[in-house]
Amino acid sequence: MNEITKTLTCLFVFIMLFSCEKNECLKYSQILSKEECNIIVDLEPANSVWFEIKGHDPITQEPKVCKTHNRWWNLYADEIELGDTVVKKRGELTFNIHKKDTVITHEWEKCNEIDATLKKGS
């Protein structure tokens, strides 16, 4: 193989690797954006692989459970206390913990400058 062919082959491999990574990140971001939760915490999340909060709906006062199988929300489980309101809106890539005097907002790390709010139809 001559030098030009080697260079072009390496370039092609790098392009394929980086484009796949971006596509996977975009797909995962779209999955995360579809999740939603709006709950007042009655039972702090357990230290588990999966994230689950038990509480009640702030509007209807009905018992409610929010759970997810990704680990993004679980990163912030230690920040959640009884009485906090956890808000994850559908279509957004922010996870919010409303405390009595503070709102903590965690933004999903962007994939090559994806806007934190995915547009409908994405």
Mean pLDDT of the region 51-59 = 95
Residue 107: exposed, middle, or buried by beta-carbon count in 10 A (0-12, 13-18, 19+)?
exposed
What are the tens digits of pLDDT across the range 72-114? 888 899 999 999 999 999 999 999 999 999 999 999 876 655 4
Mean pLDDT of the region 17-22 = 51
| Alpha helices, DSSP H, located in the chain | 3-33
Tell me which of 12-16, 50-54, 70-74 is least confident.
12-16
| 42: in domain | yes
Closest CA to 44 of 92, 80, 85, 93: 80
pLDDT at 118 over 80: no
| 122: in domain | no
| 58: in domain | yes
| 77: in domain | yes
Tell me which of 12-21, 41-50, 56-65, 66-75 is least confident.
12-21
What are the tens digits of pLDDT across the range 31-46? 888 999 999 999 988 7
11: confidence class by pLDDT, cuts 50, 70, 90 = low
29: confidence class by pLDDT, cuts 50, 70, 90 = confident
Tokens standing for residue 20: 């796949």
| 11: in domain | no
| 14: in domain | no
| 5: in domain | no
| 6: in domain | no
